[in-house]
Amino acid sequence: MNAVFDLRTVPLSSARFRKQAEELLGRHGLRLDPLDEMVGIYDCDDRLRGCGGYLHTTLKCIAIDEELQDNDLASRLVSELMNRIWADKPGARITLFTKPKNEALFASLGFGLIGRSSQAILMETPKAAFASWLNALSSLPHGDKVAAMVMNANPATRGHVYLIEQTAKEFDRVRVVLIDGDPEGPFTKEERMAALKEAVAHLKNVDVVASGPYAVSQATFPTYFLKKLTDASDVQMELDLNIFADSIAPALGASVRVVGEEPLDLLTAAYNETMLRVLPQKGIEVKVHSRLESEGKPISASRLRKAIAEGRGSEALEIAAPASAPLVLAHAAAQALTSELELTPKPGLVTPDSTGAHTDMDAALMRRSIKAMRKAFSEIASMSRTEEMPTAVELSKEGKKWERLMLEATRGVNTHKGALFSLGLAVAASSWLAYNNRELTPKAIGSVIAEIAKGFQPAEGTHGADTRSRFGIKGALDYARSGYAELTADWLPWLRSHREEPYTLQRLLLRIMASLDDSNLYFRGGAEGAGFARQEAARLAENFSIEGLNAFGEQMAARNLSPGGAADMLALTLFIDSITK
């Protein structure tokens, strides 16, 4: 009988197919949640009779018309979804969010129960995974008074550390459960875990453990990551808290859950309120602590991330836990590259709506490269947290590794080699200064860069080396050995005095182009092409108009001229501006 049914992808980007899925789910009392992919069951008349989808590794939105539920269509559908997940993530644990009435059906397909609420259950395969995780929690050091804390710490702030320190004074043991977080977020769970463990290493009665998909996760509480308070959130909150009370707290040996008050985020505030209602009924006390403040505002990771995105990296560094400084610096450096990329129009350079003078690059490629660069900057910042200043040998080795990984991400296209050098040096210098409690100023960062750069040897046998020799111009190493003197003396002061004016960043880019020996321009256009670009940039910098900038961009593209070195210096200026006052 199943031969008359066909399983195929439901293209949710199509309004017609999306409506069909919404109507089918609606008949079963379900809504269409965000999904990576949906698979539909179609009958011989091409009618949608069942569907199911997944987000990351969680199956959801599963519905099959009642008259078909005696067939093995559910098994076929779930198997297809699982195989699609495993094709991308081999061996991944798969969770299932469904209605309580479906428990027996999915148990027969190898799923084990994790937790339930009045309207939903969470199941998982392999079904022994949850028990194994709980057993690991049970092996933690014991104490008479044990408190549990569940945190995102994205990344760890001084506020997180303060809250943990206060709790550690009150209890024999404190279990900090770090949630997996948003897979699309700026910081990986491994980075957040390492930073949080370092931040609380001085507290000997604190254990930091990973939540997996079992606490405030994409499986138990997906709307948390959307930051939208909906009626679905109530169901998810109840499910998440029941799992904590029934399974996680006993494994941790915890009878108290400690949280920070939430004056800003409505969803988190609602979660805390639900916690105060649900957990005491199950014998778990809830204690709410006041949040640490700075400048009259609560310290939070969301405030930190917002500060970086808005170019206020210095504020982010002030509220971050010192152990999170590498993540902040890396994110600020990647944000500077992103700001340069998103700036439009620009002469000869890649923008979201133009490839400029490039035939091998576009904005999507540049964004993939920036993602790799953020990881590079994070490692560079981490290795620079030493009493001794990082050396050129150490940084060169790290830089070569990340240059290879950048080229892998871009399939061989050199998108950010220059930025890796200049921003990598700036990140290393800033991280070293911060670790040694020295003030971050443009001059101090420049001085450290200059000192480190003394140890680098000029490159030989490269396009850049040949261009410098042929035209007698300064190269990237020369500018680094000066501590980027032009940036400190001219570009950064100009930016800060013209920040509120129209087209400030375009005008700054022109100013940089007019003064920089840009080997990209010499390589592409020789002395004549580079001279044209510099002279026109100087003219436009003094007498700017958007019409003139657009015309200049057309001329640069026609001449195959791209001021990549100037773009790197713009990003470097934005980074130094962000992290210094």
Q: State phi, psi for 372 to the nearest 5 degrees.
A: -65, -40
Q: What count of Cα atoms within 13 Å lies in the side-chain half-sphere of residue 309?
A: 8
Residues of the chain with pLDDT > 70: what percent?
Answer: 95
Over 60: is that where the pLDDT of 225 sits?
no
- pLDDT value, residue 229: 46
- pLDDT value, residue 516: 97
Over 60: is that where the pLDDT of 7 sits?
yes
Q: How many CB atoms lie within 10 A of CB 171?
A: 21
The mean per-residue pLDDT over the stretch 47-69 comes to 89
Over 90: is that where the pLDDT of 465 sits?
no
Structure confidence at residue 191 as a pLDDT band (50, 70, 90): very high
Q: State phi, psi for 190 to the nearest 5 degrees.
A: -65, -40
- pLDDT value, residue 349: 97
The mean per-residue pLDDT over the stretch 285-291 comes to 93
- DSSP class of 83: H
The set of residues, in sequence order, having a beta carbon less than 8 Å from that of 199 and lying 6+ positions away, is: 156, 160, 161, 321, 322, 323, 324
Q: Which amino acid is it at 289? A: H
- pLDDT value, residue 217: 66
Structure confidence at residue 226 as a pLDDT band (50, 70, 90): very low
- pLDDT value, residue 213: 79
Residues of the chain with pLDDT > 90: what percent?
Answer: 73
- pLDDT value, residue 224: 44
What value does the mean pLDDT of the chain take? Answer: 91
Please state which of the ranges 186-200, 462-476, 497-511 shows the lowest mean pLDDT.
462-476
Over 80: is that where the pLDDT of 464 sits?
no
Please state which of the ranges 69-78, 106-115, 379-388, 555-564 shows the lowest mean pLDDT.
69-78
- pLDDT value, residue 458: 84
The set of residues, in sequence order, having a beta carbon less than 8 Å from that of 42 and lying 6+ positions away, is: 5, 6, 7, 8, 48, 49
Please state which of the ranges 14-23, 99-108, 459-468 shows the lowest mean pLDDT.
459-468
- pLDDT value, residue 223: 53
Which structural domains are found in the chain, ordered by start? 2-126 (3.40.630.30), 130-298 (3.40.50.620), 318-456+470-579 (1.10.4200)
- pLDDT value, residue 231: 58
Q: What is the CA radius of gyration of the chain?
A: 28
Structure confidence at residue 222 as a pLDDT band (50, 70, 90): low
The mean per-residue pLDDT over the stretch 109-121 comes to 89
pLDDT digits (tens, 9 = 90+) for 394-427: 999 999 999 999 999 999 999 999 999 999 999 9
More confident residue, 292 or 68: 292
Q: How far out from the chain centre does Cα 569 lie? A: 24
- pLDDT value, residue 117: 87
Over 90: is that where the pLDDT of 230 sits?
no
pLDDT digits (tens, 9 = 90+) for 343-381: 999 999 999 999 999 999 999 999 999 999 999 999 999
Over 90: is that where the pLDDT of 462 sits?
no
Q: What count of Cα atoms within 13 Å lies in the side-chain half-sphere of residue 216?
A: 21
Q: How far out from the chain centre does Cα 525 lie? A: 38
Whole-angstrom CA distances from 457 to 79, 306, 449, 474, 482 are 57, 39, 14, 14, 15
- pLDDT value, residue 267: 78
- pLDDT value, residue 232: 61
The mean per-residue pLDDT over the stretch 230-241 comes to 78
Please state which of the ranges 53-57, 202-206, 442-446, 461-465 shows the lowest mean pLDDT.
461-465
Over 70: is that where the pLDDT of 218 sits?
no
Question: Which ranges of 320-391 would DSSP assign to H, the alpha helix?
Answer: 325-342, 363-383
- pLDDT value, residue 268: 79
C-alpha 269/C-alpha 193 separation (Å) is 24
The mean per-residue pLDDT over the stretch 429-442 comes to 97
What is the value of pTM for the model shown? Answer: 0.86
pLDDT digits (tens, 9 = 90+) for 125-179: 988 889 999 999 999 998 999 999 999 899 999 999 999 999 999 999 999 999 8
